[in-house]
Structure 1
Amino acid sequence: MSGPARLVRREASGDLPLLVCLAVLVGVLTALSAWLPPLVSGRQDAALRQRVQAAQRTAPLFTVATTLSPPAFGELPPPQSVAAALRLTGPQLIAEADPVLRRDLGYVRSEADFTLGRLMPMPPAPDPRIRTSVAQLSYVSDASAHVRIVAGAFPAAVTPTRAPTPLAVSQATARLLGLHVGEGFTMRYGDSDYYADSAFTVSGVYVPLQTGDSFWNDHAALDQPLQYPDADTGGDQVSFQGLLGADAPEHLARDGVLPYPSVSWQFKVTPGRDAVAQEQRLTDALAAYGTELQAAQCPSMSGDDTGEPACTAGYWPVQRYTWTDGLTPLLASFDQERQEADEVQSFALASVAGVLLATASVAVRLLLRRRDGHLRLQRARGASTSRLVLLRSAVATPVLLAAGVIGWALGVHYAARGSSGVPQAGWAAASAALAWALLPLLTWLAVREPGVPRRRVRRGRRFAGRREVLELTALLLAVAGVVALRLRGATPVQGVDLEMSAVPVLVGLAGVLVLLRIYPPVLALLSRQARRGRGALAFVGLARAGRDATATGLALFVLVLTVATAVFGGMVARTVTDGVAVGVAWTTGGDAVALAAGNQTPTPTPASSPVIAVGEQSRSLSLTASRDGASVTGVLTVTVDAARLAAAEPGSPLARALLSKASSAPVRRADGTVELPVLGDRTLFAAESGGDLSAASFANTDRTHQVRLRMTGALTTAELHDPALGPLTAAVPPGTPLLIGGAAAQAQLAPQTAGGTAVLLYAEHGGPPVGADTLRGAAVAALGPLAEVRLRSDALASMRADGLTSELRQVYGLSTVLTALFGLLAVALELALTARERGRTSSYLRTLGLGGRPAAALQVLQLVPFGCAAALGGVLLGMLEPRLLGPALNLRQFTGGPARPALHTDYRLTVALGLGMALLVLAAAAAEALVARVRRLGAVLRLGEV
């Protein structure tokens, strides 16, 4: 073996324990770089799939639509039915998409919808108030699988040439209009100047069949008709939707009486396992889909000189295609949530890296301390600084390189497969190189040539020493980082947010520097107090702890950062847990909620029911200000039964405000206008204070008078954030004008098909809990089987199982465990590093006659201030950091609700962490004291001579 190799091996044999320690640290860093990104990305992929599935339970995310065109003059009808053309065109529309989008799209159904027609004449209805009825007739490709025929039969696939077109209606429609199987009627299309009639017959009556998909969420009008006032006739009008058979479009086209139908294709989206990785490509593919679709389905120009392309669906000519893309906004919203999750968890990951590197630094310092005499001897024999640095580096490099490779291999082996994340080789190499660089750097600092002594300057005239400059720089960087984050707010950053990662660590460093400035004077004050006592043990222990304060600064930083990270993680978990409850309350309003499209009158809850039902409706109104005639469009008007809300939820701020400011009965003015008291949001109230808003397009229940809305007060933040408003206002864009009225306003305003109805269900206040089945049954009874029912318990379980929330908890749990383990390792190494000084003090005192037990107590006493300072500093820093970050720490993405959740510290966890860390440090000190106590006096005396 050559001389240099023999020298390296001899040097390595003495450093083996600490080299193994450094190897473990490097292996953990590289393993985390390989294992953690796929794990986190896998959780995010699952979260995105959850978002897509939840959205598709309400409505399809991707729809393509067009309108059939009649054949050109002189051409024969296409040799293909409309139903066949729709069925064959659906897969073709997917085939034209980008491969990334094509992989995730699945054909669900196609539809053909005719324009509204009026029943002429109107068949006699059981309700004499019903004077007219309008209907939209539709062919839905999979409708037969979602209905159960209770009378007659589903419309046949083939209709005789001159027979009336068969039509199926829902049981609710048949009962409301008095229709029965076999009954015929005429539908008139067009206006009074140009119209055409078509004959229909009721072939069947059906009820909805729930199949577990979103069909009835998309087609609620197929079941529930809408009854509302008709100002032209003075009575009520009914709007319903009926189902046609497969050949109805051609059958009606042969009659030549109906406009050709609009057709659409609905698709489901099923993201793959690497959903997040494909997110941007999906967005790009969706943006380019329209161009690709028109190029494929509209290959030529029409011959009528209009310049419009000639598009086809199968053999049928159609107009230009349009498409509805609900996936792109969902991806954009999720991307913002994901980036927020990355920012919040970046502090935990940065803390783990900081603790590992600080522990590596302590290990290197201990290694150099053990080699201190050997290094001085080599230096005295003429070895240069560079030779000593290279020698120490040569000893450590193979060990650390092997540790990095092994750690990387283990991380890759156990990393999740198929997720969007991939092992980060760059981060692994950078972290391993940084850990390795600590050894030559600290070796150079230990063996470099001493500088020329500087001329002493009186302390009063010196501006600052090296330590003061470094401390001031760290404080300025921490303050600048906090200010920059607060000014930036909650704006997410693409990729790794270095600012969000570094600022909390800088704040932790600044906190430790401040603690190191406060720590010694406090110990000096305590030692002066102890000097006045009878015994010298407390005085010596506190004085020694104060003298070692600066030397233990790195271990103090590790422990403070460890406790702060755990406290920070506990705060995040507690805030998310409490905030989820608030967000779910905003989603469901009460213990449960039933939602339906359009303004409907709920079925009253029986008096014997264990639940209280609170009805509310929303309408979008175009209003006119009476003071200046200004038009205020898109005003969301919500009407709530305030009395029942107060009975169900006595603490509701919205109920109190409505009962105190907007509970008066409607006022009929001299001109016959009905005036309704309402509450307005602050912006609308300030703009129109003192004036009324007229709903000019609506008449009230006697169908002769207009309605004016008089704002009697402005809504406060607490009232706007009342959970009762959540089910109807959660999806409303910010800045939408808002008015809220009571039950009287609800009775005076005409219903809207574009509005919404919600029934909030509460268990009786102070009564026994109500089960999920009871709440669900009450919701269905109030708004029918097609109502969307949300239970608070189900929503809470779904939010807590959300992929991003579970990812956040896992990352902080993992970071807490890792920082605690390696923080304890750093403390153990620091104790070993400073053990000689404490042992020397004990040897002197034992030489002077101090017994073994007092000497052991002195060992513990020297570390009591260190443990207490670490625990107290970490707790205070962990509680302060979230407040310093301010708007940059936005947890609303994980909780929902109308506003950002308030930060809630988990005080039990915080106290447990602080006490636990202090006790662990004291336990280590006690172990060291026990070892020192059993030493023979000769060993103690020899230690004092070193």
Structure 2
Amino acid sequence: MRGSAMRLARAQWAPLAALAVLSLLSALLAVAVPARTEAGYDRAAAAAAGSSADLTVEGKAAGSAAWSAVPSQAAMGANSVTWQQMLPRSLAKVAGEPEASARTARLPVPGTFDAPRLMYLGWDLGAWNRIRVVAGRMAINPPSETSGDIRVMVSETYAAQLGYKVGDRLDLGDLAVEISGLYEPLNAADPFWEPRPSLLHPVKVSLGGDGGQADAGTALLDAGGYSRVVRETGTQFTFSWRFPIRGADIDAGDAAALAADLGAFRSAVQGRGGLFPCDVVSALDDRLTEFAGRLHTARSVLGLALGGLAAVAAGVLLLAAGLLGERLRPVLGTMRARGASLRQLAVPACGLTALAVVPAALLGYAAGRLLDAGPPQPSSAYAIGALVGVVLLVPAAMAWRERAGGLGSATDRREDLVAARPFVRRLVLDVLLVALAVIGVVLLRERGASAGTDPLVAAVPVLLGAALGVLVLRAYPYLLRAAGPFLRRRSGAVAFLGIARASRQNLVGALPLVVLLLAATVAGFTATVDTALRDGQVRASWSEIGADARIEAGPVDDAALARIRALPGVTGAVPFRVITGVSTATDQAPMTVVGVDLDAYRKFAPRVPDVPSGSGVLLSPLAARTVGGGTVTLSRPGMSPITVRSAGEIEYIPGQGRGTAFVVVPYKMIAGETGFPSQVFVNGDVDAEALRAAAPGRDVRMRQDVLRSMTDVPMVTVVHQTFRDGALIGGGFGLLAVLLVLVVGARARGRTVAHLRALGLSRRQSRGLALVEIAPVLLCAVGAGWVLGLLLPDITGPVVDLRPYTGGFAATAHVPGWPALLGLLGALLLAAAAAVAVDRAFDTRPGTALRTGD
């Protein structure tokens, strides 16, 4: 028995080797692709949290309330321990040690300076261990001291920039402080200093309103100094217990739990008694909530692509197992004719398949783990097990087919696809598959974006591809039959013979059609969505900036506008005049008047979305509700009143936020107004520094910077890479399916061609015959699959919602770009080249292939 099994394995080494290689590749990809994608999600989660993410428990108190709650450094540390113990487990896992500090409200520094000066007094426990004194002495305030100046320290850089020195005395309202020493950080690159820049150098702070900016810094207090300020004055302190968050330790699975636990921690802090009211200040929950939305979209969209890719891999494996079963049919028929039972048939058939599949799958799984592409996913092991199980069912089904047959049943029956009768069971299965696909689409569209990563989402493309595949298989024989009479009348015989040989394929031989269709569907879908995503991000950048660049802040005169237009690379510039704080006599609600030649701007920047085709005075929806109908007069101090009458509404114009109240008027209506801000929209290939030089003192925003901020988001990179890899892997499996069918059937085809060569077929005609044989399957499968892939984004509808990546702009489906179309053409050419190469490799001379009497 062992010897016969070895002989059978040697006789079928080609399909067994192909099945083993395909199993290894499928298992390897089943481990590596999900792991790599999940690793990308984890990197995106860490980037979303940010390297400087923190969580701060913060409260304000003054006088006796502050002194009774935090009388000493020990009390400050005890509160740190309390907050740390209250952290939920998910937060405690990524939070560092608490950093306790207390800082006064800003205190004005009297004197005449180039800019106003403010000073904070800060009691920061962690800072004292990270500085060295470079001048003077440490700021020590003994507990017994109750009068005189309070000693503080400032950084050497702060003192040098603002002209302070050791011994200087500052009057800060109710406080008088003396600079007793200057310090510098032990390590200026320590992350501790990043949220505390005012401890190292002066920082600019806004005074609010039109007060401009002031130079602010923080002077260090010790515990004794804090005690004196709290007990002797009513100065308010802001107490902070900062927990630095290790963003690198946050993965995609933590994001949702962290956001929820942060809300629970905030509620617990607000409800704690025995201390002044405290709250949790952190941008982490907003960042993680935004990331969760992007992650949901990515998993939904990529689930569609990866589900289709898994179906392609399964199809190729089933094809290889089916071809092996077809090669084993004569052997199984002979064994059955000699009285073998079905179990005795199943043992060699299933045993050979298991010998090829199981070790290869295990080796592929091990290789995938060794690649260390990312955290291993449980779904990988389940997918590999399911693939192995499905493949092992094929030889069992082949053995079951011989239950009523014998030698004749295995050798004499022909099951040509064109001549095959439609069985009722196959018809029922086809109808059931189509019905399941339709039901899946209906349920998916009803559930919308909430479907998320439900298996139904990943199954819809596979169901649609399989349903379209059975429909194409139904129509395929009729297309071949229709082509036969037409080709028969042509002078050449190659086309007719090629179609005739394509018609002789059985259902297993036509299985590449379904595999190629699924592969083309995956490629078409990924190319379409990828193009839609890129196009949506470009549209969002045009909407955000309004041109290739936008110059704003401060009035722009004719001379500055001329300098801008004269810059090298500038192809055009359109000015906007912006007047804020405008209102009507009957309603003082502030509005913004935007003066622009709308027709000129529309021609200048046709790619900016949502710019209406109307002209005249246009009102935003909020401004229309404020102004109402009819003619109104708009005015403000310093502006000549203008009378306007609405000619329509405008949802958005670059430079004005959505949902705000603004009025767009012709530029000439307010062209004479001076002293108000202007915006200049610039098109062309121009450098930001050149624009700043041409319009000094003004802010310049570049569209490419906005686009880069959207495209360089780690999650977007993951989506693009997965789409690219999915298209390449799907195309590679499709080509492997074609090559597999060609190689496995090459020997039998060589004998047929040898007969034709004896009848006068030339070598060149033999190559043409190979192309014609494969052309119907390639064209039908790739054409139908590509069209389905282009339509899938519209069919799946709400699931493919890419607005979290496009600034809220809907990324509608588009025809893929030239790279995708060239890739499709290249795949077809590779398949054709494979057919010719196999024909040449298995070219058999008539004298060696034919026997006497043939």
TM-score, reference length from structure 1: 0.69
Structure 1 pair 225–532 and aligned structure 2 pair: CA distance change class (3 A): closer
State the Cα distance separating 1:360 from its structure 2 match. 1.9
User: Residues 766-805 of structure 1 correspond to what in structure 2 (within 5 A)?
Assistant: 766=684, 769-771=686-688, 773-774=689-690, 781-782=697-698, 792-805=703-716
1:276 touches 1:420 (CA, 8 Å); kept in 2?
A: no
Alpha-carbon displacement from aligned partner over 1:490-518 (angstroms, at most 9, x marks no partner) = 3352xx43222221122222333333344
Give the letter for the 2:827 counterpart: M
Residue of structure 1 equivalent to 2:94? 104
Structure 1 pair 620–215 and aligned structure 2 pair: CA distance change class (3 A): farther
Residue of structure 2 equivalent to 1:304? none
Once residues 77 and 555 of structure 1 are traced to their aligned partners in structure 2, the CA distance between those partners, rounded to angstroms, is: 77
Residue of structure 2 equivalent to 1:330? 287
Structure 1 pair 325–18 and aligned structure 2 pair: CA distance change class (3 A): same
Pairing partner for 2:778 from 853, 867, 870: 867
Alpha-carbon displacement from aligned partner over 1:44-83 (angstroms, at most 9, x marks no partner) = 11111222228x5xxx65332222254489x9997537xx
Residue of structure 1 equivalent to 2:433? 474
Please state if 1:272 is matched with 2:248. Answer: yes
Residue of structure 2 equivalent to 1:68? 61
Residue of structure 2 equivalent to 1:915? 825
2:754 touches 2:844 (CA, 8 Å); kept in 1?
A: no
Structure 1 pair 656–855 and aligned structure 2 pair: CA distance change class (3 A): closer
Residue of structure 2 equivalent to 1:429? 385
Alpha-carbon displacement from aligned partner over 1:92-149 (angstroms, at most 9, x marks no partner) = 6345423532342347976757679999xx999999xxxxx9999775859999xxxx
Once residues 202 and 610 of structure 2 are traced to their aligned partners in structure 1, the CA distance between those partners, rounded to angstroms, is: 32
User: Residues 379-778 of structure 1 correspond to what in structure 2 (within 5 A)?
Assistant: 379-416=336-373, 419=375, 424-445=380-401, 465-491=424-450, 493=452, 496-548=453-505, 552-586=509-543, 607=560, 608=563, 640=594, 642=596, 650-651=604-605, 660-662=615-617, 679-681=619-621, 685=624, 689-690=628-629, 700-701=636-637, 712=646, 715-716=649-650, 719-720=651-652, 722-725=653-656, 728=657, 738-739=661-662, 764-766=682-684, 769-771=686-688, 773-774=689-690
Q: Using the TM superposition, name which of 380-389 and 831-840 deviates more.
A: 831-840
1:614 touches 1:645 (CA, 8 Å); kept in 2?
A: no
State the Cα distance separating 1:555 from its structure 2 match. 0.6
Alpha-carbon displacement from aligned partner over 1:686-721 (angstroms, at most 9, x marks no partner) = 7985289999xxx95389x9x9998836544xx52x
1:155 touches 1:245 (CA, 8 Å); kept in 2?
A: no
Structure 1 pair 579–141 and aligned structure 2 pair: CA distance change class (3 A): farther
Give the letter for the 1:67 counterpart: K
Residue of structure 1 equivalent to 2:274? 310
Give the letter for the 2:832 counterpart: L
1:101 touches 1:282 (CA, 8 Å); kept in 2?
A: yes
Once residues 692 and 778 of structure 1 are traced to their aligned partners in structure 2, the CA distance between those partners, rounded to angstroms, is: 40
Structure 1 pair 930–24 and aligned structure 2 pair: CA distance change class (3 A): closer
Pairing partner for 2:787 from 876, 880, 884: 876
2:54 touches 2:282 (CA, 8 Å); kept in 1?
A: yes
Stretches of structure 1 that go unaligned for 5 or more consecutive residues are 128-132, 146-152, 169-180, 188-197, 230-235, 299-308, 312-318, 452-461, 630-634, 663-677, 730-735, 748-756, 784-788
Please state if 1:343 is matched with 2:300. Answer: yes
Alpha-carbon displacement from aligned partner over 1:511-561 (angstroms, at most 9, x marks no partner) = 333333444434433332233334444333334434548564311112222
Give the letter for the 2:259 counterpart: T
Secondary structure of residue in 1 paired with 2:518: helix
Secondary structure of residue in 1 paired with 2:253: coil
Alpha-carbon displacement from aligned partner over 1:891-935 (angstroms, at most 9, x marks no partner) = 233x32231223333342343234333323332332344456542
Once residues 506 and 521 of structure 1 are traced to their aligned partners in structure 2, the CA distance between those partners, rounded to angstroms, is: 24
Once residues 619 and 442 of structure 1 are traced to their aligned partners in structure 2, the CA distance between those partners, rounded to angstroms, is: 80
State the Cα distance separating 1:380 from its structure 2 match. 0.7
Secondary structure of residue in 1 paired with 2:50: helix
State the Cα distance separating 1:329 from its structure 2 match. 3.1
Structure 1 pair 770–659 and aligned structure 2 pair: CA distance change class (3 A): farther
1:9 touches 1:395 (CA, 8 Å); kept in 2?
A: no
Once residues 219 and 336 of structure 1 are traced to their aligned partners in structure 2, the CA distance between those partners, rounded to angstroms, is: 38
Once residues 494 and 81 of structure 2 are traced to their aligned partners in structure 1, the CA distance between those partners, rounded to angstroms, is: 87
1:591 touches 1:760 (CA, 8 Å); kept in 2?
A: no
Residue of structure 2 equivalent to 1:177? none
Give the letter for the 1:925 counterpart: A
Structure 1 pair 866–625 and aligned structure 2 pair: CA distance change class (3 A): farther
Secondary structure of residue in 2 paired with 1:491: helix
Structure 1 pair 201–445 and aligned structure 2 pair: CA distance change class (3 A): same
Secondary structure of residue in 1 paired with 2:449: coil
Pairing partner for 1:808 from 712, 719, 731: 719
2:35 touches 2:377 (CA, 8 Å); kept in 1?
A: yes
Once residues 246 and 605 of structure 1 are traced to their aligned partners in structure 2, the CA distance between those partners, rounded to angstroms, is: 54
Once residues 513 and 384 of structure 2 are traced to their aligned partners in structure 1, the CA distance between those partners, rounded to angstroms, is: 26
Secondary structure of residue in 1 paired with 2:845: coil
Structure 1 pair 72–463 and aligned structure 2 pair: CA distance change class (3 A): closer
Q: Using the TM superposition, name which of 546-555 and 911-920 deviates more.
A: 546-555
Residue of structure 2 equivalent to 1:455? none
Once residues 508 and 76 of structure 1 are traced to their aligned partners in structure 2, the CA distance between those partners, rounded to angstroms, is: 72
Give the letter for the 2:147 counterpart: T
CA RMSD of aligned residues (A): 5.6
Q: Using the TM superposition, name which of 135-144 and 419-428 deviates more.
A: 135-144
State the Cα distance separating 1:379 from its structure 2 match. 0.7
Once residues 16 and 831 of structure 1 are traced to their aligned partners in structure 2, the CA distance between those partners, rounded to angstroms, is: 15
Structure 1 pair 604–686 and aligned structure 2 pair: CA distance change class (3 A): closer
TM-score, reference length from structure 2: 0.76
State the Cα distance separating 1:376 from its structure 2 match. 1.2
Secondary structure of residue in 2 paired with 1:898: coil
Structure 1 pair 395–262 and aligned structure 2 pair: CA distance change class (3 A): same
State the Cα distance separating 1:388 from its structure 2 match. 0.8
Structure 1 pair 693–219 and aligned structure 2 pair: CA distance change class (3 A): farther
Secondary structure of residue in 1 paired with 2:698: helix
State the Cα distance separating 1:392 from its structure 2 match. 1.5
Once residues 574 and 243 of structure 2 are traced to their aligned partners in structure 1, the CA distance between those partners, rounded to angstroms, is: 36
Once residues 347 and 443 of structure 1 are traced to their aligned partners in structure 2, the CA distance between those partners, rounded to angstroms, is: 35
Give the letter for the 1:927 counterpart: A
1:593 touches 1:779 (CA, 8 Å); kept in 2?
A: no
2:595 touches 2:669 (CA, 8 Å); kept in 1?
A: no
Secondary structure of residue in 1 paired with 2:58: strand
1:35 touches 1:412 (CA, 8 Å); kept in 2?
A: yes
User: Residues 155-174 of structure 1 correspond to what in structure 2 (within 5 A)?
Assistant: 161=147
Once residues 102 and 690 of structure 2 are traced to their aligned partners in structure 1, the CA distance between those partners, rounded to angstroms, is: 39
Once residues 724 and 295 of structure 2 are traced to their aligned partners in structure 1, the CA distance between those partners, rounded to angstroms, is: 19
Q: Identity of counterpart residues, as a percentage?
A: 23
Please state if 1:22 is matched with 2:38. Answer: no
2:739 touches 2:835 (CA, 8 Å); kept in 1?
A: no
Residue of structure 2 equivalent to 1:890? 801
Give the letter for the 2:20 counterpart: A
Alpha-carbon displacement from aligned partner over 1:363-383 (angstroms, at most 9, x marks no partner) = 222222222222111111111
- Tell me the matched-pair count: 800
Secondary structure of residue in 2 paired with 1:330: helix
Once residues 388 and 140 of structure 1 are traced to their aligned partners in structure 2, the CA distance between those partners, rounded to angstroms, is: 85
Structure 1 pair 883–918 and aligned structure 2 pair: CA distance change class (3 A): same
1:478 touches 1:506 (CA, 8 Å); kept in 2?
A: yes
1:570 touches 1:910 (CA, 8 Å); kept in 2?
A: yes
2:31 touches 2:377 (CA, 8 Å); kept in 1?
A: no
Structure 1 pair 124–638 and aligned structure 2 pair: CA distance change class (3 A): same
1:35 touches 1:423 (CA, 8 Å); kept in 2?
A: no
Stretches of structure 2 that go unaligned for 5 or more consecutive residues are 129-135, 155-166, 410-420
